[in-house]
Structure 1
Amino acid sequence: MTESGHQLRVTRQPSGGSAPRPGPHERAATLEHALTASTGVFPAAARSVRRLRNGVQIFPAMLDAIAKAERQIAFVTFVYWTGEIAERFAEALSLAARRGVSVRVVLDAVGAREMDDRLIRTMRSAGVEVRWFRPVRAWRIWQSSHRTHRKLLIVDGQLGFTGGVGIAREWQGDARDPSQWRDSHFELVGPAVLGLWGAFIGSWLEAGGDPLAPPTPTPARVDPRDRLSIHVLPSTAAVGWTTIAIALWALIDAAERSIKIATAYFTPGEETVEALCAKARDGVRVELLVPGPHADVRVAKIVAESELRPLIEAGVRVYYFCPTMMHTKVVVIDEAFACFGSANINNRSMRKDEEILVATGASDLVEDLLIDFAADLGRSELLELEQLRERPWWRRLVAKLLGPLRSEI
C-alpha cells in the first residue's frame, strides 16, 4: 500500500514473439552467470537476505545484532556524524566490548570527520579498537582522494549488514519529510557473510590494523537452509575501473527487458551513459531514480544534468525523488536480479573508492525491491527533456565549469 492507500502492483512485462521468454528464475541464473564470467568471482551460499527500509527498520536491526553478539563485531562506515543514533551506536559497541566481545571499527577519516571526539574516547576506553582509514597527510596527499565508502557490520561471522545507511540523524525516521532520508540497507545470514568479512579485513589492514589480530570467524557447518546464491564483490580504493564498474557494465549489457536504477549520486563516465542509451534504443525499459529538490550535494545534481539529456533522448525515463534526500543504491535487472551495497553510479564508486556490491536473484528480495521502486516512483517527478533545455544559463555554466572535477563527484 502507498501512503495514500493505493494498492501497489508489480507487473512483469509481457513477452513478445511466439517463443516464450525465460521466467525470472532462468533470467536470474543467466545474469548470475554473466556476473561470474565478467568478474571471476563465484557466488556463495546464504540462508537469507532481507531488505530493511529506512532508519525506522535499519537501526533497530543493527543495534539488536550488536547487542546479541557473542564473539566478534566488525564495523566499517564512511559516514559517522552526529545525533542520537550516533550516541546509541557508540554506546552499543562499547557495551559489547565490555562484555568481552572483540569489537573493531574502521572510520573513514574524511567521511566521519564530523564525529564527536567524545564518542571515540568512549569506545576506546571500553576496549573497542577504532582505526581511521587514510587520515589526510600532506606527504601522502595522493591517497586523500581514495576513500572507503563501505558500510559494513559483521557479527560473529554469520550475520552481516551492508547498504547505503550512515550513522547520523539524517537517516532516522521513515523518509516522511526532508529531515528523514530515504535509504535501504540489507541483512545477510549464512556463509556469504564471509565475503563482507573479507572486505572488512581489507579496510582494517589499510587503516593500520594488526594483520594477525582479527581471528577468522568459526567455519559454518553445512546447513540445508543455505539455499540462496549471492555474489559479494568488494572493490579497493585505487586507480582505474574497479570490479564493481565491470560488474555493473556486464549486467547492463546482459539486460533484455528492464533496468531499474536508484542511486544517490549519478555522475557516471561516458561508458555507462552509452551503455544505458544503447539498451534503451534496443527496447529495454530503462528507469533511473535520482534525488530531486532535496539532493544533499547540489553540485552533483547540477553536474549530472548534462548526462541526463542524452539518456532521455535515447528513451530512458528519469525521475526526481521529491519528498526528501534519496540515498539508496539499488539496481534491478529484468525484474529478476538485484544489486545493492554502498556503490553509487558515479566516478568515485566506479574508479576511486573502496565499495561493496552484493548481487542475487533471491526472488523474495527482488519482489520487495520492485515494490519499493514502484512506491518511490509514486513520490517522484518524471523529468522531461524540455526541463533540461530550459535550464537557466548560469546553471549550464556551472555544470560546464565543474566538468573537469566530475571524477571527484
Structure 2
Amino acid sequence: MFQFLEFRVWPWLSLALIVALFVVIWSIRRHRSPVLQVQAECGIDQLMPSLSGLTLSTAVEGNSVDILENGAFYDVLVDRIRAARHSVHFETFLWKPGKLSDRVYEALVDRARAGVPVRVLLDAQGGKKIEQDRVARMREAGCKVKFFHKKSLYTLGVLNDRDHRKIVVIDGLEAFVGGHCITDEWLGNAEDHEHFSDVSVWVHGPIVHSLQGAFSENWAGETGELFVGDAYFPVLQRVGDITIHATFVKPENSAPAVKILHHTVLCLARERIWIQNPYFIPKREAIEAFASAVKRGVDVRVLMPATSGSDAPMVQHAGHRHFETLLKSGVRLFEYPHTLLHQKLMTVDGCWSAVGSTNFDDRSFDTNDEITLSILDRGIAQRFDAIFEKYLPRATEVKLEEWRKRGVIHKLKDNAAYLLNDIL
C-alpha cells in the first residue's frame, strides 16, 4: 500500500518542484512596469536632466556623433580597431562565420599581437556559431574572449537574459553603439533580402566614459576583472556641442532604464514621434501612451519590416496582435517588405533621438541587457528622420479597413505568436 501511494504521489511532487523552479526563475527579473502618466510644462529639449536622472545616468555635453549606415559601418570600425594603441573593448550579440567575421577577427588579432589589450565579450547564445578554433587563435594571440551567460547551473536562473548590446570602445577615446552584428547579412547596402539595413553611431567626447562603464559592467560580471588608468579612462575633452546620456542600467525591482526611457518620451512629445524598429511589440501601457500622444496632436509613425522582409516572421506576427488598436488610435504603421530594417531609431519633436541595440518589445525592455543613447541635437534627429523617409517610398502603409479584412490564418498566426512574445 505504501509503495502504491509513493508511486501516485511522486509525479505530483515532481510537477510541484518544476512549477516552483519556474516561479523562482520568473521572479528573478520581475519588476513593476512604469505608469505612463508623465506630464511636463516644457518640451523634451529641456528635459535631458530628467530623462537621464530617471534612467540612472547623467547627461554629458561636448560630444560629437557620426552616423554610419549599413555595410559602410564596418569600414570605419575595422580601421579604428587597427588604429588602436592602448585598448580595444568589443561586445556584441551575434557573430557568425563569413567574410565579416574574417575582417573583424583579423583586426582584433592584429592589435593583440601588437601588445594592445583586447577584450571580447560575446553572448553565449548569439555567438554559439563562431568557430571554436577561431576563438582559440584569438586567445593564443593575446585576446581575452569571454561568453555571456554560458549554460551552467550557475546561470540557470538567467539563461533567458541575453547580452544584446553592441558596443566597441577604442583607447577609451571613441566608441561605437548601434544595431550592427557580425554576420555577412549586415554587409552591402540593404539592396535585397540577403543584405540588411542598420544604423550605428560613432561617438567622441565625455560620453565615452559611460560606454566604457557599460562594457565594464558585463565584463566584470563574467570575469571579475576591473581595469583602470588612461588606457581605458583617459581625460576626455569637449569635441563638439551634442548632449548625450547612455541608458543601460537594470535596477532590482524597477523597470530597466531602456524601458523607462522609451516609454517616458512617449508622454513628452508635442509634435511627432517617428520610430524605426525591427521588432515592434508594444505593451498595453505604451499603446495607451501612443493613443494619448495622437490625441495631443502628435504625428506618430512606425516603420518596421513586413513578415516578408523580417528574419523572424513570427515576431512580426506577434506585433500584428495590436495593429488594429494602434490604427484606431491614429498611429500610422508602415511595413517594409524588401529586407530586414534592423535599425533601432526613435526621434521626438525633431530634436531628440534614441539609437542603440534596443528593440521595442518585451524581450529588450524586460529581459535582455541593452544599451540606448539618448541624444539631444536637431541635426542628428533630422539625419535619422531622413533615413526614415529614405525607406518610406518602398514601404506599405497599413490601413485600418484593409487590415480588418486580413485572412483567418493570418489572424491565428498573430494571436498564437503573441502568446510567446516574452521569449521571441
- Per the normalisation by structure 2, the TM-score is 0.86
Letter of the aligned partner of 1:105 in structure 2? V
Q: CA deviation at 1:140?
A: 3.4
Match of 1:162 in 2: 177
* Residue in structure 2 matched with residue 277 of structure 1 by the alignment: 291
1:361 aligns with 2:376: yes
Go from structure 1 to structure 2 and tell me whether the alpha carbon gap of 1:64 and 1:209 turns closer, same or farther (over 3 Å shift): farther
Residue matched to 1:257 = 271
Cα separation, 2, equivalents of 1:238 and 1:138: 22
Cα distance in structure 1, aligned partners of 2:415 and 2:207: 43
- Map of 1:79 onto structure 2: 94
Give yes or no for the alignment of 1:246 onto 2:271.
Answer: no
Distance in structure 1 (CA, Å) of the matches to 2:423 and 2:337: 25
Which whole-Å CA distance do the structure 1 matches of 2:418 and 2:136 have between them?
A: 41
SS at match of 2:322: helix
Counterpart of 2:80 (choices 38, 59, 65) is 65
May I ask how many residue pairs the two structures share in their alignment?
383
Asked if 1:219 corresponds to 2:234, the answer is yes
Corresponding position: 1:376 with 2:382: no
Question: Counterparts of 1:67-146 in structure 2 under 5 Å?
Answer: 67-138=82-153, 140-146=155-161
SS of 2:101's partner is helix
Name the counterpart of 2:343: 328
Partner AA of 2:103 in structure 1 = R
CA shift in 2, pair 1:389/1:151, >3 Å: same
Tell me the TM-score normalized by structure 1: 0.89
Partner of 1:43 in structure 2?
Answer: 59
Cα deviation code 1:13-56 (max 9, x no counterpart): xxxxxxxxx9xxx955324244135334221134310110111x
Q: What are the Cα deviations for residues 210-229 of structure 1, in whole angstroms up to 9, with x where unaligned?
A: 23589762432544x34321
1:114 and 1:213 map into 2 onto residues whose CA distance is: 32
CA RMSD of aligned residues (A): 2.0
Once residues 139 and 48 of structure 1 are traced to their aligned partners in structure 2, the CA distance between those partners, rounded to angstroms, is 41
The one-character-per-residue Cα deviations of 1:37-76 (angstroms, maximum 9, x if unpaired) are: 5334221134310110111x20001001101000000010
Q: How far apart are the structure 2 equivalents of 1:171 and 1:325?
A: 10
The runs of 5 or more residues in structure 2 that have no matched partner are 1-40
Q: 1:142 to 1:388 in 2, by over 3 A?
A: farther
CA deviations on 1:342-396 (whole Å, 9 max, x unpaired) are: 0010001111111101011223222211211111212211111234322322232
CA distance in 2, matches of 1:166, 1:121: 21
Determine the C-alpha separation between the residues in 2 that align with 1:239 and 1:261.
Answer: 28
Read off the aligned partner of 2:242 and give its amino acid letter: L
- 2:247 counterpart residue number: 233
Tell me the alpha carbon deviations over residues 137-170 of structure 1, each in whole angstroms, 9 at most, x when there is no partner.
2563221101110000000111000100001001
Q: CA deviation at 1:91?
A: 0.8
Q: Deviations over 1:248-278 (max 9, x none)?
A: 1211110000000001111222111111122
Residue in structure 2 matched with residue 317 of structure 1 by the alignment: 332
Measured against aligned partners, the alpha-carbon deviations of 1:314-344 in whole angstroms (never above 9, x if no partner) come to: 1111001122111010000001111100001
Q: Is 2:203 aligned against 1:183?
A: no
CA contact (8 A) 1:253 1:275 kept: yes
Structure of greater Rg: 2
User: Structure 2 CA distance, aligned partners of 1:216 and 1:127?
Assistant: 17
Judge conservation of contact 2:209–2:233 (CA < 8 Å) in 1: no
Provide the rounded CA distance (Å) in 1 between the counterparts of 2:211 and 2:125. 22
- Counterparts of 1:36 and 1:138 in 2: how far apart (Å)? 36
2:225 aligns to what? 210
For the Cα contact (< 8 Å) 2:84–2:111, is it kept in 1? yes
Moved over 4 A (4+): 212-216, 237-240
Deviation at 1:235? 3.1
